[in-house]
Chain A
Protein backbone atom coordinates (compact mmCIF):
# COMPACT_ATOMS: atom_id res chain seq x y z
CA UNK A 1 0.00 0.00 0.00
CA UNK A 2 1.33 3.41 -0.92
CA UNK A 3 1.52 6.08 1.71
CA UNK A 4 1.38 9.83 1.58
CA UNK A 5 2.72 12.64 3.73
CA UNK A 6 0.22 13.81 6.34
CA UNK A 7 1.62 16.27 8.80
CA UNK A 8 5.15 15.04 9.34
CA UNK A 9 4.42 11.31 9.23
CA UNK A 10 3.88 8.80 6.47
CA UNK A 11 0.39 7.41 6.77
CA UNK A 12 -1.59 4.96 4.62
CA UNK A 13 -3.44 6.50 1.72
CA UNK A 14 -6.64 4.82 2.96
CA UNK A 15 -6.36 7.00 6.07
CA UNK A 16 -5.92 10.11 3.94
CA UNK A 17 -8.93 9.08 1.86
CA UNK A 18 -11.11 8.58 4.96
CA UNK A 19 -10.06 11.99 6.23
CA UNK A 20 -11.15 13.75 3.04
CA UNK A 21 -14.16 11.74 2.11
CA UNK A 22 -16.84 13.53 4.04
CA UNK A 23 -17.11 15.92 1.13
CA UNK A 24 -17.15 15.77 -2.63
CA UNK A 25 -13.90 16.77 -4.28
CA UNK A 26 -13.51 17.74 -7.88
CA UNK A 27 -10.55 17.76 -10.19
CA UNK A 28 -11.17 19.55 -13.48
CA UNK A 29 -8.77 19.51 -16.41
CA UNK A 30 -9.26 21.32 -19.70
CA UNK A 31 -7.13 20.11 -22.60
CA UNK A 32 -6.64 20.98 -26.25
CA UNK A 33 -7.85 18.46 -28.79
CA UNK A 34 -4.50 16.75 -29.22
CA UNK A 35 -4.25 12.96 -28.91
CA UNK A 36 -0.93 13.24 -27.05
CA UNK A 37 -2.96 14.60 -24.12
CA UNK A 38 -4.57 11.18 -23.65
CA UNK A 39 -1.59 10.02 -21.62
CA UNK A 40 -1.91 12.99 -19.27
CA UNK A 41 -5.55 12.12 -18.60
CA UNK A 42 -4.61 8.46 -18.19
CA UNK A 43 -2.04 9.29 -15.53
CA UNK A 44 -4.51 11.51 -13.70
CA UNK A 45 -7.25 8.87 -13.80
CA UNK A 46 -4.89 6.14 -12.60
CA UNK A 47 -3.70 8.35 -9.72
CA UNK A 48 -7.25 9.06 -8.55
CA UNK A 49 -8.42 5.45 -8.73
CA UNK A 50 -5.26 4.33 -6.94
CA UNK A 51 -5.82 6.95 -4.26
CA UNK A 52 -9.40 5.73 -3.82
CA UNK A 53 -8.15 2.12 -3.54
CA UNK A 54 -10.06 0.66 -6.45
CA UNK A 55 -8.81 -2.85 -7.15
CA UNK A 56 -6.34 -3.14 -10.02
CA UNK A 57 -8.74 -4.53 -12.61
CA UNK A 58 -11.50 -2.02 -11.88
CA UNK A 59 -8.99 0.82 -11.97
CA UNK A 60 -7.78 -0.41 -15.35
CA UNK A 61 -11.28 -0.44 -16.81
CA UNK A 62 -12.11 3.00 -15.41
CA UNK A 63 -8.90 4.30 -16.97
CA UNK A 64 -9.77 2.73 -20.29
CA UNK A 65 -13.33 4.12 -20.18
CA UNK A 66 -12.06 7.64 -19.56
CA UNK A 67 -9.45 7.24 -22.30
CA UNK A 68 -12.10 6.07 -24.76
CA UNK A 69 -14.37 9.01 -23.88
CA UNK A 70 -11.61 11.57 -24.26
CA UNK A 71 -10.46 9.94 -27.51
CA UNK A 72 -14.01 10.24 -28.88
CA UNK A 73 -14.25 13.86 -27.72
CA UNK A 74 -10.96 14.81 -29.40
CA UNK A 75 -11.35 12.76 -32.54
CA UNK A 76 -15.06 12.58 -33.31
CA UNK A 77 -16.41 15.53 -31.28
CA UNK A 78 -13.81 18.23 -31.83
CA UNK A 79 -12.46 16.69 -35.05
CA UNK A 80 -8.86 17.15 -33.84
CA UNK A 81 -9.30 20.96 -33.92
CA UNK A 82 -6.62 22.15 -31.48
CA UNK A 83 -8.60 25.34 -30.84
CA UNK A 84 -11.45 23.30 -29.38
CA UNK A 85 -11.22 22.10 -25.81
CA UNK A 86 -12.17 18.96 -23.95
CA UNK A 87 -13.26 19.51 -20.36
CA UNK A 88 -12.74 16.53 -18.06
CA UNK A 89 -14.12 16.73 -14.54
CA UNK A 90 -13.49 14.00 -11.96
CA UNK A 91 -15.75 13.96 -8.92
CA UNK A 92 -14.40 11.91 -6.03
CA UNK A 93 -16.98 10.85 -3.46
CA UNK A 94 -16.73 8.43 -0.53
CA UNK A 95 -18.21 5.51 -2.46
CA UNK A 96 -17.69 6.37 -6.11
CA UNK A 97 -15.90 8.26 -8.82
CA UNK A 98 -17.81 10.18 -11.46
CA UNK A 99 -16.26 11.55 -14.60
CA UNK A 100 -17.71 14.05 -17.02
CA UNK A 101 -16.13 14.55 -20.46
CA UNK A 102 -17.39 17.51 -22.49
CA UNK A 103 -16.45 18.40 -26.04
CA UNK A 104 -17.25 21.34 -28.32
CA UNK A 105 -18.34 19.33 -31.33
CA UNK A 106 -21.58 18.99 -33.26
CA UNK A 107 -22.93 16.26 -30.99
CA UNK A 108 -24.43 12.94 -31.94
CA UNK A 109 -27.47 10.78 -31.23
CA UNK A 110 -26.38 7.88 -29.10
CA UNK A 111 -29.33 5.81 -30.34
CA UNK A 112 -27.83 5.90 -33.83
CA UNK A 113 -24.62 4.18 -32.76
CA UNK A 114 -24.67 0.64 -34.17
CA UNK A 115 -24.00 -2.29 -31.86
CA UNK A 116 -20.57 -3.82 -32.44
CA UNK A 117 -22.11 -7.19 -31.58
CA UNK A 118 -24.29 -7.29 -34.69
CA UNK A 119 -22.97 -9.85 -37.14
CA UNK A 120 -22.57 -7.15 -39.80
CA UNK A 121 -20.38 -5.08 -37.49
CA UNK A 122 -18.20 -7.76 -35.90
CA UNK A 123 -15.31 -7.24 -38.30
CA UNK A 124 -15.50 -3.46 -38.46
CA UNK A 125 -12.28 -1.84 -37.26
CA UNK A 126 -14.06 0.80 -35.16
CA UNK A 127 -17.22 1.35 -33.13
CA UNK A 128 -16.39 -0.48 -29.88
CA UNK A 129 -15.35 2.38 -27.59
CA UNK A 130 -18.78 3.33 -26.27
CA UNK A 131 -19.71 -0.33 -25.91
CA UNK A 132 -16.66 -0.87 -23.68
CA UNK A 133 -17.49 2.21 -21.60
CA UNK A 134 -21.03 0.97 -21.04
CA UNK A 135 -19.72 -2.47 -20.12
CA UNK A 136 -17.18 -1.36 -17.54
CA UNK A 137 -18.88 1.59 -15.83
CA UNK A 138 -21.91 1.38 -13.51
CA UNK A 139 -23.70 4.32 -15.09
CA UNK A 140 -23.18 6.09 -18.41
CA UNK A 141 -25.20 8.99 -19.80
CA UNK A 142 -24.86 11.05 -22.95
CA UNK A 143 -26.12 14.62 -22.84
CA UNK A 144 -26.35 17.32 -25.49
CA UNK A 145 -25.05 20.59 -24.06
CA UNK A 146 -27.09 23.77 -24.50
CA UNK A 147 -23.97 25.66 -25.62
CA UNK A 148 -23.22 22.93 -28.17
CA UNK A 149 -21.16 19.79 -27.83
CA UNK A 150 -21.71 16.58 -25.95
CA UNK A 151 -21.15 15.46 -22.40
CA UNK A 152 -20.41 11.88 -21.49
CA UNK A 153 -21.07 11.22 -17.81
CA UNK A 154 -19.87 7.99 -16.26
CA UNK A 155 -19.76 6.66 -12.74
CA UNK A 156 -18.17 3.70 -10.95
CA UNK A 157 -18.88 2.66 -7.38
CA UNK A 158 -16.25 1.33 -5.03
CA UNK A 159 -16.92 -2.27 -4.11
CA UNK A 160 -17.58 -2.55 -0.37
CA UNK A 161 -14.72 -4.34 1.40
Chain B
Protein backbone atom coordinates (compact mmCIF):
# COMPACT_ATOMS: atom_id res chain seq x y z
CA UNK B 1 0.00 0.00 0.00
CA UNK B 2 1.35 3.40 -1.01
CA UNK B 3 -0.22 6.74 -0.23
CA UNK B 4 0.65 9.98 -1.98
CA UNK B 5 -0.62 13.16 -0.38
CA UNK B 6 -1.82 16.14 -2.42
CA UNK B 7 -2.88 19.51 -1.11
CA UNK B 8 -5.76 21.43 -2.65
CA UNK B 9 -6.43 24.60 -0.68
CA UNK B 10 -6.79 23.51 2.92
CA UNK B 11 -7.76 19.95 1.99
CA UNK B 12 -5.41 16.97 2.01
CA UNK B 13 -6.14 14.32 -0.62
CA UNK B 14 -4.62 10.91 0.04
CA UNK B 15 -4.26 8.88 -3.16
CA UNK B 16 -4.18 5.28 -1.94
CA UNK B 17 -2.66 2.60 -4.16
CA UNK B 18 -2.58 -1.12 -3.39
CA UNK B 19 -4.21 -3.29 -0.75
CA UNK B 20 -5.79 -2.27 2.53
CA UNK B 21 -5.54 -5.53 4.42
CA UNK B 22 -4.64 -6.59 7.95
CA UNK B 23 -1.12 -5.50 8.76
CA UNK B 24 0.86 -3.16 6.58
CA UNK B 25 -2.01 -1.72 4.53
CA UNK B 26 -4.14 -0.76 7.50
CA UNK B 27 -1.13 0.63 9.38
CA UNK B 28 -0.15 2.90 6.49
CA UNK B 29 -3.64 4.44 6.33
CA UNK B 30 -3.76 4.91 10.10
CA UNK B 31 -0.31 6.47 10.38
CA UNK B 32 -0.84 8.83 7.44
CA UNK B 33 -4.12 10.15 8.81
CA UNK B 34 -2.82 10.45 12.39
CA UNK B 35 0.20 12.42 11.13
CA UNK B 36 -2.15 14.84 9.33
CA UNK B 37 -4.26 15.30 12.46
CA UNK B 38 -1.11 16.03 14.48
CA UNK B 39 -0.37 18.83 12.00
CA UNK B 40 -3.92 20.09 12.53
CA UNK B 41 -4.93 19.07 8.99
CA UNK B 42 -8.56 18.11 9.49
CA UNK B 43 -10.06 18.14 6.01
CA UNK B 44 -9.11 14.82 4.51
CA UNK B 45 -10.13 12.96 1.37
CA UNK B 46 -9.23 9.29 0.97
CA UNK B 47 -9.08 8.55 -2.75
CA UNK B 48 -9.63 4.79 -3.03
CA UNK B 49 -9.72 4.50 -6.84
CA UNK B 50 -6.52 2.44 -6.96
CA UNK B 51 -7.23 0.20 -3.98
CA UNK B 52 -7.40 -3.19 -5.63
CA UNK B 53 -8.15 -5.26 -2.53
CA UNK B 54 -9.62 -4.68 0.89
CA UNK B 55 -10.55 -7.11 3.66
CA UNK B 56 -12.71 -6.72 6.77
CA UNK B 57 -9.73 -5.27 8.65
CA UNK B 58 -9.39 -2.68 5.90
CA UNK B 59 -13.07 -1.80 6.19
CA UNK B 60 -12.57 -1.61 9.96
CA UNK B 61 -9.64 0.74 9.42
CA UNK B 62 -11.82 3.06 7.31
CA UNK B 63 -14.39 3.09 10.13
CA UNK B 64 -11.72 3.73 12.73
CA UNK B 65 -10.18 6.52 10.65
CA UNK B 66 -13.59 8.11 10.13
CA UNK B 67 -14.25 8.05 13.89
CA UNK B 68 -10.82 9.46 14.74
CA UNK B 69 -11.08 12.32 12.25
CA UNK B 70 -14.66 13.15 13.26
CA UNK B 71 -13.81 13.10 16.98
CA UNK B 72 -10.95 15.49 16.25
CA UNK B 73 -13.40 17.97 14.80
CA UNK B 74 -12.45 17.17 11.22
CA UNK B 75 -14.16 15.67 8.20
CA UNK B 76 -13.18 12.58 6.25
CA UNK B 77 -14.47 11.95 2.75
CA UNK B 78 -14.18 8.72 0.78
CA UNK B 79 -13.61 9.34 -2.93
CA UNK B 80 -13.89 6.95 -5.88
CA UNK B 81 -14.99 3.76 -4.16
CA UNK B 82 -14.35 0.67 -6.23
CA UNK B 83 -17.36 -1.54 -6.91
CA UNK B 84 -16.15 -4.09 -4.36
CA UNK B 85 -15.47 -1.57 -1.59
CA UNK B 86 -18.90 -0.07 -2.25
CA UNK B 87 -20.50 -3.50 -1.94
CA UNK B 88 -18.66 -4.28 1.31
CA UNK B 89 -19.73 -0.95 2.80
CA UNK B 90 -23.31 -1.34 1.59
CA UNK B 91 -23.93 -4.79 3.07
CA UNK B 92 -22.61 -3.67 6.45
CA UNK B 93 -24.77 -0.51 6.35
CA UNK B 94 -21.72 1.75 6.30
CA UNK B 95 -22.40 3.57 3.03
CA UNK B 96 -24.73 5.94 4.83
CA UNK B 97 -22.19 6.54 7.60
CA UNK B 98 -19.41 7.84 5.36
CA UNK B 99 -19.34 10.94 3.20
CA UNK B 100 -18.89 9.33 -0.22
CA UNK B 101 -18.20 11.05 -3.55
CA UNK B 102 -17.13 9.96 -7.01
CA UNK B 103 -16.11 13.41 -8.24
CA UNK B 104 -13.11 15.13 -6.69
CA UNK B 105 -14.31 18.68 -7.38
CA UNK B 106 -17.69 17.97 -5.82
CA UNK B 107 -15.96 16.37 -2.83
CA UNK B 108 -13.72 19.42 -2.39
CA UNK B 109 -16.70 21.75 -2.60
CA UNK B 110 -18.50 19.83 0.15
CA UNK B 111 -16.13 20.95 2.93
Chain A interfacial positions (CB closer than 8 Å to B): 35, 38, 57, 60, 64, 67-68, 71, 75, 116-117, 122-129, 131-132, 135
Contacts and interface: CB of A to CB of B under 8 A. Distances in A.
Interface residues of B, number: 20
Dominant SS among interface residues on chain B: helix
Interface of B: 21-23, 55-57, 59-61, 63-64, 66-67, 84, 88, 91-94, 97
B2 to A, nearest CB: 17
A71 B61 CA distance: 16
B100 to A, nearest CB: 15
28 contacts: A38-B22, A64-B55, A67-B21, A67-B55, A68-B55, A68-B56, A71-B56, A71-B57, A75-B22, A116-B92, A122-B92, A123-B63, A123-B66, A124-B60, A125-B60, A125-B61, A125-B63, A126-B56, A126-B57, A126-B60, A128-B92, A129-B55, A129-B56, A129-B57, A131-B91, A131-B92, A132-B56, A135-B91
Nearest to A75: B22
A68 B93 CA distance: 19
Contacts of B66: 123
B85 to A, nearest CB: 12
